Amino acid sequence: MTDVRPHRPGSAGGHRGADLAASRQELAECRAEVERLRQGLANCQREHDCARNGFSALEQQAAELGNLYVVMERLHGTLEYGEVLAAVQDVVINVIGSEELAIFEPSEDGRELFPVQSFGVEARRLEPLQVGVGPIGRAAADCKAWVIGDGPPPPEFPDLTACVPLQAGGRVVGVLAIWRMLRHKPVFGAADRNVLELLVRHAATALYLTSLRDRPRREQGEPRDVREGREGRNGRQAGGAPR
């Protein structure tokens, strides 16, 4: 005898409702998991960015320290006047990033400034300057530096980047003027200021020590170019003399 049970309307619909509710719950859990993963990924990205920024800062500090070492090594590796000037020029070109510069030396009476080292400024036809006149002369007279960003550029040199007196031994031993930066380095930043400050301080010391070394010959009235030429010849002769 066949058992025939009565059909209960709505029982299939109840199963489908339960399945739908379970599916919605699973979907909600999946979405919550996706959101947790998204938050975790965002946290990882932030940590990665912090680590990268920290590494970049370390790289920049290492580069700055390397630049400062170059300055110290070049300037204090010699007491020859011409080599000190060449070292300053090399640092300005290769570390600061300008191929337009000039170094001025004061006359014996301190009234004029004479260009003794220059690079890339031939078209400017630099001549002796009066101390106290123009931005370079004022830097020597006032013992005050001007660097781009300190205010509007001087009208005499609208493309000037820096004009800094070199001071040592209680007096000005020179003035360093820097014009346009190289194209790949259009901005004179904080790191450049640090290098420039170190450069002028140690360049002034090196030039001052050189002046003390040359003072006896200056008192005898021997011009610097004659002294250096004779010293160069003596050095070559000594280098080539048999032992």
* pLDDT for the residue numbered 57: 60
* pLDDT for the residue numbered 51: 62
> What domain count does the chain have?
1
Residue 7 has pLDDT above 90, yes or no: no
Q: Which domain holds residue 171?
A: 68-211
The 10 Å Cβ neighbour count of residue 227 is 15
Task: Identify which of 121, 42, 8, 220 has the alpha carbon closest to the alpha carbon of residue 50.
Answer: 42
For range 166-185, the mean pLDDT: 91
Is this model's pTM higher than 0.85 or not? no
Tell me the pLDDT tens digit for each residue of 202-227. 899 999 888 777 655 544 554 454 44
For range 43-50, the mean pLDDT: 76
Q: How confident is the model at residue 34 (pLDDT cuts 50, 70, 90)?
A: confident
| Average pLDDT in the chain | 79
User: Looking at the domain assignment, is residue 5 inside a domain?
Assistant: no
User: Looking at the domain assignment, is residue 17 inside a domain?
Assistant: no
The 10 Å Cβ neighbour count of residue 113 is 30
Tell me the pLDDT tens digit for each residue of 122-173. 888 888 999 999 999 999 999 999 999 898 989 989 999 999 999 997 889 9
Q: What is the residue whose two structure tokens read 């009565």?
A: 6
Task: Write the CATH number for 120.
Answer: 3.30.450.40
The 10 Å Cβ neighbour count of residue 180 is 15
* pLDDT for the residue numbered 10: 53
User: Looking at the domain assignment, is residue 194 inside a domain?
Assistant: yes
Higher pLDDT, 67 or 26: 26
CA-angle at 138, arms to 81 and 124, nearest 5°: 65
User: Looking at the domain assignment, is residue 170 inside a domain?
Assistant: yes
The fraction of the chain above a pLDDT of 70, given in percent, is: 75
User: Looking at the domain assignment, is residue 89 inside a domain?
Assistant: yes
User: Looking at the domain assignment, is residue 97 inside a domain?
Assistant: yes
* Two structure tokens written together for 16: 């489908």
